[in-house]
Amino acid sequence: MGIFSSKNHLNENMLPETLPGHVAIIMDGNGRWAKKRGLPRTAGHSKGVKTFEDVVEMCFTAGVNTVTVYAFSTENWKRPDSEVQYILKLLDEYLDICVEKCLKKGIRMRIIGDRSILPAEMIQKMNDSEEKTAHLHYNLNVAINYGSRAEICHAVNSLIADGKTEITEADISSRLYTAPVGDPDLIIRTGGEIRLSNYLMWQASYAEFYFTDTLWPDFGKKDLYKAFHKFAKTHRRFGGL
Ligand code: IPE
Ligand code: IPE
Ligand code: MG
């Protein structure tokens, strides 16, 4: 084994042969990360943005084609207004940085969720970042004011508005915010909870799951590669043999 203590140690730092094409991430645990350090929850969100930048870059460098991250849910409005405003301001500021990075790296940005109730300038920024990057190959989807149930209702209502009276699975899939990028192959959730919290419920039908206790601001390359290795070992049957 030479300088490596075990085969596992060697593997963890290398990419497996099979990678998920589309990775979705529930970035949870920012508040607890801050609390553990005696910091305000907002400090966890700031650190979380840095982790987000790093992990997204690691995914694309590894060879993943699409990354879909959960940044703010339709239920997160229940939090104290000061925290909600802080998160939205962080996201708003980050949009500017993100679009520049995406342009450099060949990544198409999409914001998924109901943007209509967000501040007008933020909506403008979202529209601009999507337009500016629309010609690029890789996909980064950021879920802001996103909820799976709301997304499915929105899809069905848009079909009704078009006069549809009988709706197929393909119809619904075609009207989801994720229609252009399809379903995730792997869903990662940090922060220890084993639940979807209203994220990509339709799209998750045949996704593989990777749950870790690691809090989002602590999530790094080692954790990401562990998730990739677990994914690579899975035999996906999609109901067949
Ligand atoms: C995830 O971290 C970020 C958002 C939901 C916006 P949390 O803020 O939920 O952190 P915990 O789960 O309370 O630790
Ligand atoms: C899910 O985390 C939402 C995001 C990561 C944006 P939450 O912290 O809101 O989920 P619950 O409340 O623990 O289910
Ligand atoms: Mg949480």
Domain residue ranges of the chain, discontinuous segments joined by +: 20-223
Tens digit of pLDDT for each residue in 139-161?
A: 999 999 999 999 999 999 999 99
Judged against a pLDDT cut of 50, whether residue 5 lies above it is answered with no
Structure confidence at residue 12 (pLDDT): 72
Judged against a pLDDT cut of 80, whether residue 2 lies above it is answered with no
Instruction: Kindly tell me the sign of the dihedral angle through the C-alpha atoms of 110, 118, 202, 212.
Output: positive
By alpha-carbon position, which residue is closest to atom 12 of ligand 1? 29
Give the neighbor-by-neighbor strand order of the sheet with 138-146: 107-112, 138-146, 66-73, 22-26, 186-189, 208-211
Q: Is the CB of 183 under 6 A from ligand 2?
A: no
| Residue 76 is a catalytic residue | yes
| Residue 28 is a catalytic residue | yes
Structure confidence at residue 11 (pLDDT): 67
CA separation for the pair 107, 103 (Å, rounded) = 6
Cα 191 to middle of ligand 3, angstroms: 7
Structure confidence at residue 187 (pLDDT): 99
**CATH H-level, domain 20-223: superfamily:** Decaprenyl diphosphate synthase-like (3.40.1180.10)
- Out of 8, 13, 76, 185, the active site residue is 76
Enumerate residues lining ligand 1, CB below 6 A: 27-32, 72, 76, 87, 191
